Structure 1
Amino acid sequence: MSSPSADLAVVGGGQLARMMQQAAVGLGIHIRLLAEGPDVSAAQVIPDHRVGDHTSLDDLRDLAAGVPVITFDHEHVPPEHLRALEAEGHACRPGPHALLFAQDKGAMRARLDELGVPCPRHASVSSLADLEAFGFPAVVKTTRGGYDGKGVWFVHSAADAEEALSSDRELIAEELVDFRRELSALVARRPSGDTVAWPVVESRQVDGVCKEVVAPAPDLDDHLAQEAEAIARTIASALDVTGVLAVELFETSDGRLLVNELAMRPHNTGHWTIDGAATSQFENHLRAVLDRPLGPAGPRAPWSVMVNILGGSVDDLEAQLSVVLDAVADIRVHLYGKSVKAGRKVGHVTAVGDDLDDAQARARRAADLFEKGTTHE
């Protein structure tokens, strides 16, 4: 039995695709999904899914058959496959010409340098001599494939560099930035160039994993907020990004902004928009890639706090849900349908309100209850 015609094909079955489906239902958009397995997060909620490999052109062609537009839960589809799909009449959004700069940190840094976008000092390295010439301390990253702290090494001496240099991966070294905090600027862009931007947020990391996001970033100087938004809009336009673009930034201790990473898809630092913004990042991503008018991106409340639920001592999150809802008033919960593993992102909670301290306390308490079954209070 053939699947009904779909409006949009999504590659990758993680929580981002799952939350795209949440937005798609309201818009009447039919998504067809390529999932890594039959029970992954997005496959649980998207009926029209097939199991396959995003590195297989045959599987991608099967997914795309009869579907005009393709988008992504992750940035790891080989660019040559995307070019083949484009040649066969499918619109890949974002396209391979844009995704390159989210897939390859070396290419990203070179292009941002050309655009005059502020970045940390950086250089390609392949040997200890290269690293010593660059100077310690440094952050060494694989140019491809790293995420959530994986493929990243903090190198303070030659002894620290051994693992990175023996990884047999292409590497880039970046200066160890003295930053005050991390920020994120999100925009959504249509093929026409029409763009909307959400408020710039502060993100807080634990062991290289995003743990908490506050929207808008507290006490952010107006001119820095405007600069961060302008940087995101410039990159989206210059790289011809269609869909959501997340620009992760350092706010340095001396008041500058430096671009850290790019993501060309809905992003963890935008999850607060589901409950805290006039239009979520997921809805505007769908609108953008299908070339439909974008929704307003302003906040619904003065403050939104999103805290990721990381795998901890609580095994049954669904059973724990009643405990959390009973204990924490006015909290929004999003569970991803994943098995619990230590440190794994298995959901998030969001609190919105007029008082930042109150919203932060509610969100943190709910996340603690999901992770530990108790709180620090």
Structure 2
Amino acid sequence: MRVGVIGGGQLARMMVPPAIALGIDIRVLAEAENSSAAIAATAVGDYTDAATVLAFARDVDVVTFDHEHVPQDVLAALVADGVVVRPAPDALAVAQDKLVMRRRLTAIDARVPDWAEVADAEQLGAFLADHGGRAVVKTPRGGYDGKGVRVVDAADGADDWFATGGTLLAEELVDFRRELSQLVARRPSGEVRAWPLVETVQRDGVCAEVFAPAPRAGELPERARRLATRIAERLDVTGVLAVELFETAEGGLAVNELAMRPHNTGHWSIDGAVTSQFEQHLRAVLDLPLGDPSPTAPWSVMINVLGGPEGQTMPERYPGAMADRPEVKLHSYAKTSRPGRKVGHVTATGDELDDALARARAAAAFFQG
């Protein structure tokens, strides 16, 4: 079983241990020699170049992704050459473009924030006038970790983006209680498995903390599971699907974003679930029976390590962290620190949420200075 992963980031890196355990030959097309997934990088090249990607893909049984940025023409070339691509290009297109995502979710009656495609300041101004004078504006492509997203309260608030050409996504500013995330995995034969609904804490548009399961959730987990399963089935998603959600002020659920790959909000599953999202993704794209996603502890807390001492890596601070918190799991992405950069994460599990959170924060503090 040979799986090719396009993209050499930390998601590809974290697929390597379960691939080794299952005896899967995992190969990575990385963007650079020093990528996070360099340990499995069998090729280095441009993922936007069809010839490069085709040469990589001809030696694997299935191609999957560390990110959603592979152009559709490259994906089409893979399919035309007989390469198995999972998720398929049609599904991946929904995660690549936020306007396509909003159209498709609206078409399948999945609740989303009120939205509009706007082409200039005049149209943005009209949207603002209809939504209380404030709105969220997003670039349709390429945004992540808070990039390509801003809150505006004036018609000229996105003029710099309009100047680059193309249209933007304008959305209502949702009055929400908290942000949640529901991950499911689906294999081509149709089997779907869901992890517990989790609560996420965002800082400056970047996921900072994840609590699994989401506390004080009531009926929301079952509703979120049904919603994510319906999206996966209607969009024909293969592999892991992350559905980022708002819990609205009235207690409902609205879809914020989709990702068709392992996702930051599922990293807790490496240490806190019977089957991690990374093992499950490999199983799913190979159409193997899916593993049990049940939690192995009452609570898991994952905290991203963001930034830290300039130029250092996480392992340089391991002695102190390991001595102080030997029970907390540490995960380095083999990246040097710079302000705001996601260089790793820590996970603590336990019987009490507050205790697990305190221990995870104490461990993360060693790396964040």
Please give the TM-score of this superposition, normalised by the length of structure 1.
0.94
Q: 1:27 aligns with which of 8, 15, 22?
A: 22
Secondary structure in 1 matching 2:158: helix
Provide the identity percentage: 56
Q: Tell me what 1:304 maps to.
A: 300
The aligned runs of 1:139-154 (5 Å cut-off) are 139-154=136-151
Q: 1:268 aligns with which of 264, 267, 270?
A: 264
Q: Residue deviations 1:190-224, cap 9 Å, x none?
A: 001100000000011111110000000010122x2
**Cα distance between partner residues in 1 of 2:358 and 2:33:** 37
Verify: 1:216 aligned to 2:213, yes or no: yes
Verify: 1:197 aligned to 2:199, yes or no: no
Q: Unpaired segments of 5 or more residues in structure 2?
A: none
Q: Residue deviations 1:142-201, cap 9 Å, x none?
A: 111111111111001234333333343431100000111000000000001100000000
Q: 1:364 aligns with which of 354, 361, 366?
A: 361
The aligned runs of 1:147-166 (5 Å cut-off) are 147-166=144-163
Q: Which amino acid aligns with 1:158?
A: A
Q: Tell me what 1:107 maps to.
A: 100
Q: 1:251 aligns with which of 247, 250, 273?
A: 247
Q: Residue deviations 1:34-75, cap 9 Å, x none?
A: 0011111101x21x5111011000110111123120000000
**Cα distance between partner residues in 1 of 2:289 and 2:336:** 37
Secondary structure in 1 matching 2:222: helix
Q: Is the 8 A contact 2:306 2:339 kept in 1?
A: yes
**Cα distance between partner residues in 2 of 1:164 and 1:66:** 40
**Cα distance between partner residues in 1 of 2:326 and 2:4:** 37
**Cα distance between partner residues in 2 of 1:167 and 1:305:** 40
Q: Tell me what 1:124 maps to.
A: 117
- TM superposition shift of 1:128: 1.3
Q: Is the 8 A contact 1:140 1:164 kept in 2?
A: no
Q: Tell me what 1:231 maps to.
A: 227
**Cα distance between partner residues in 2 of 1:128 and 1:289:** 43
Secondary structure in 2 matching 1:160: coil
Q: Is the 8 A contact 1:329 1:362 kept in 2?
A: no
- TM superposition shift of 1:88: 1.1
Secondary structure in 1 matching 2:146: coil
The aligned runs of 1:5-44 (5 Å cut-off) are 7-43=2-38
Q: Tell me what 1:375 maps to.
A: none
Q: Tell me what 2:49 maps to.
A: 56
Q: Is the 8 A contact 1:142 1:169 kept in 2?
A: no
Secondary structure in 2 matching 1:234: helix
Verify: 1:242 aligned to 2:230, yes or no: no
- TM superposition shift of 1:347: 0.3
Q: Is the 8 A contact 2:5 2:63 kept in 1?
A: yes
Q: Residue deviations 1:297-339, cap 9 Å, x none?
A: 1100000000000112262421201110111241000001011
**Cα distance between partner residues in 1 of 2:64 and 2:86:** 5
Q: Tell me what 2:290 maps to.
A: 294
Q: Residue deviations 1:97-136, cap 9 Å, x none?
A: 1000000111111111111100000000011111121122
Secondary structure in 1 matching 2:5: strand
Q: Is the 8 A contact 2:112 2:255 kept in 1?
A: yes
Q: Is the 8 A contact 1:243 1:286 kept in 2?
A: yes
Secondary structure in 1 matching 2:165: coil
Q: 1:85 aligns with which of 72, 78, 95?
A: 78
Deviating above 6 A after TM superposition, structure 1's stretches of 4 or more consecutive aligned residues are none
Q: Which amino acid aligns with 2:305?
A: I
Verify: 1:325 aligned to 2:306, yes or no: no
**Cα distance between partner residues in 1 of 2:289 and 2:26:** 19
The aligned runs of 1:348-359 (5 Å cut-off) are 348-359=345-356
Q: Against the structure 1 CA distance between its residues 167 and 202, is the aligned structure 2 distance closer, same or farther, given a 3 Å change threshold?
A: farther
Q: Which amino acid aligns with 2:65?
A: F
- How many aligned residue pairs are there? 364
Please give the TM-score of this superposition, normalised by the length of structure 2.
0.96
Q: Is the 8 A contact 2:309 2:338 kept in 1?
A: no
**Cα distance between partner residues in 2 of 1:293 and 1:369:** 39
**Cα distance between partner residues in 2 of 1:159 and 1:245:** 35
